[in-house]
Amino acid sequence: MTKLYRIFTNAELTARVQTSSTCHIFKSEGKQTKMPSNKSVSDAPITRFINGTILREHTLQREDLWVRDGSILNPEKLFYDEQGFADELVNCEGTIIAPGFIDTQINGGFGVDFSQLSENVPENVSLVAKKILEHGVTSFCPTLVSSPPVVYHQVLPQIKVQEGGPDGAGVLGVHLEGPFISAEKKGAHPEHCLRTFSSRPTEDLIEVYGDLGNVAIVTLAPEMDNSQSAVKELCRRGVTVSLGHSAANLSQAEEAVRGGASFITHLFNAMLPFHHRDPGIVGLLTTDQVPPPRTVYYGMIADGIHTNPAALRIAHRAHPSGLVLVTDAITAMGLPPGQHMLGQQIIEIKGLHAYVAGTTTLCGSIATMDMCVRHFWQATGCKAEEALEAASLHPAQLLGIARKGRLDYGADADLIVLDDKLNVKSTYISGEEVWRKPEQR
């Protein structure tokens, strides 16, 4: 027999709560409020977020959000199956509740460079993980630029995949950007660190990287000899393959996609420019050669510097469901202008630009994820939902993590509270507040 559920209005839910004979102390934006409640079947506390607009199923919806044990609850089943109610009430006061941001390409920040040999790698990762909470990031992929094998062998084992919490955003795995990339399109990557594939690409990968157990993404150039075998091997190991720092033509890029590649590293940057007779990697946005039902995703650095607003609009309108916002942030994010290290090179910060010292070559961004979301929203004129999903839903889909990047029932309660201008007011991981914007005085 099928059980039927009825959706209650907020007024009905409040009325049901008020008919209970017992009371608990509820929290409401830092203030204590007495509200009646009833004991649920589970001993875990239940939090109810009220007076907010929730991003769910690509739409901002005016409804409450219920959380227990770090996951999003279905309130209908809670009421009918458990006769349970909230133990804590959070008044969002008309703000937006969205999934936490996921940054799949971040080289460091706040004085930390993930590509540097250090005895304090775990502490450095933790520092960045803690700092990015205020920018709405609840999960990220620490990124290493092209480096000597000794760097990978010593650094990678120290970066552990882990869930986020009060101490910082979760680590989803490492993004290895290089060194199997094109010298022609190396960008800020040091040429002496670049590698090519031999006739035994699997051995090349292990020789350079060592253990791939904590690796989530590898960026490589698909036009290199034997790269297609490397693509297939990485995909077999569950690693997302991204195409970038490449002079590949469209057919070479399409072959890599057929082999399993599913991402483009910072679209338009460090690749051949679009040409109408051979659009190169950019052509993957509209190719008809992607095996259904797969999607090719592409990263974009929407910092107002790396990509012209017109280029942002072209990419978004051509393939909106594949757009993934990334910061490509470097060690100087959060630091004053001056010289800093990025991997094996000295970089210089001038205003909002980061250059390889002594050149005009851009080498990553100093923008934070919330800045990128706001700039993308304003530059493209897209809906707020689209800008938010480009930094949450799409990166989660890219990495195949169904429980993150969305506020569906059963998903992880990694969420952020934003005002109507998409400024982050507070950040939650597993339903627990881990950062709150200080009150203005």
Q: How far apart are CA 422 and CA 96, in angstroms?
A: 8
pLDDT of residue 113: 93
> Does any domain span residue 413?
no
What is the pTM for the complete model shown? 0.89
pLDDT of residue 42: 60
Segments of the chain scoring below 70 in pLDDT? 1-42, 83, 440-441
pLDDT of residue 62: 96
Tokens coding 295: 């999607």
- Among 42, 59, 94, the domain-final residue is 94
Nearest to 325 by CA among 189, 145, 135: 135
DSSP string, 291-304: PTT---EEEE--SS
- From 64, 87, 204, 328, active-site residue: 328
pLDDT of residue 38: 46
Buried b (16+ CB within 10 A) or exposed e, 215-233: bbbbbbbbbbebbbbbbbb
**CATH number, domain with residue 289:** 3.20.20.140
Binding site residues, as ranges?
177, 188, 245, 266, 269-270, 277, 306, 362-364
Residues pairing with 246 in the sheet? 271
pLDDT of residue 385: 98
User: Could you read off the pLDDT of 65-110 as tens digits, one per residue?
Assistant: 999 999 999 998 888 777 678 899 999 999 999 999 999 999 999 9
> Does any domain span residue 295?
yes
Asked if residues 97 and 407 have their Cβ atoms less than 8 Å apart, the reply is yes
Do 248 and 307 lie in one domain? The reply is: yes
> Does any domain span residue 158?
yes
Do 234 and 264 lie in one domain? The reply is: yes
Do 46 and 144 lie in one domain? The reply is: no
Identity (one letter) of the amino acid at 291? Answer: P
Do 109 and 49 lie in one domain? The reply is: no
Which positions ≥6 away from 77 have C-beta within 8 Å?
Answer: 5
Structural domains of the chain, count? 2
> Does any domain span residue 428?
no
> Does any domain span residue 435?
no
Do 274 and 176 lie in one domain? The reply is: yes
What angle in degrees, to the nearest 10, is found between the helix axes of 369-380 and 309-318?
Answer: 80
Do 252 and 315 lie in one domain? The reply is: yes
Do 51 and 131 lie in one domain? The reply is: no
Binding site residues for substrate, as ranges?
188, 269-270, 277, 306, 362-364
Nearest to 265 by CA among 208, 310, 220: 220
Do 181 and 196 lie in one domain? The reply is: yes
Do 393 and 311 lie in one domain? The reply is: yes
Say whether 328 is catalytic. yes
Estimate the share of the chain in helix, then strand, then coil, as percent rounded to the nearest 5.
25, 30, 45
Q: How far apart are CA 140 and CA 125, in angstroms?
A: 10
> Does any domain span residue 274?
yes
Do 19 and 142 lie in one domain? The reply is: no
User: Could you read off the pLDDT of 122-171 as tens digits, one per residue?
Assistant: 999 999 999 999 999 999 999 999 999 999 999 999 999 999 999 999 99
pLDDT of residue 207: 98
Tokens coding 338: 């001056």
Buried b (16+ CB within 10 A) or exposed e, 377-389: bebbebebbbbbb
Domain of 225, in residue numbers:
100-407
- Among 41, 66, 94, the domain-final residue is 94
- Among 94, 111, 137, the domain-final residue is 94
Phi, psi (rounded to 5 degrees) for 67: -135, 140
Do 19 and 168 lie in one domain? The reply is: no
> Does any domain span residue 5?
no
Binding site residues for Zn(2+), as ranges?
177, 245, 266
> Does any domain span residue 438?
no
pLDDT of residue 440: 65
What does each C-alpha distance from 98 to 57, 152, 218 come to in angstroms?
11, 35, 28
Q: How far apart are CA 298 and CA 281, in angstroms?
A: 10
Do 72 and 198 lie in one domain? The reply is: no
What angle in degrees, to the nearest 10, is found between the helix axes of 227-236 and 201-209?
Answer: 70
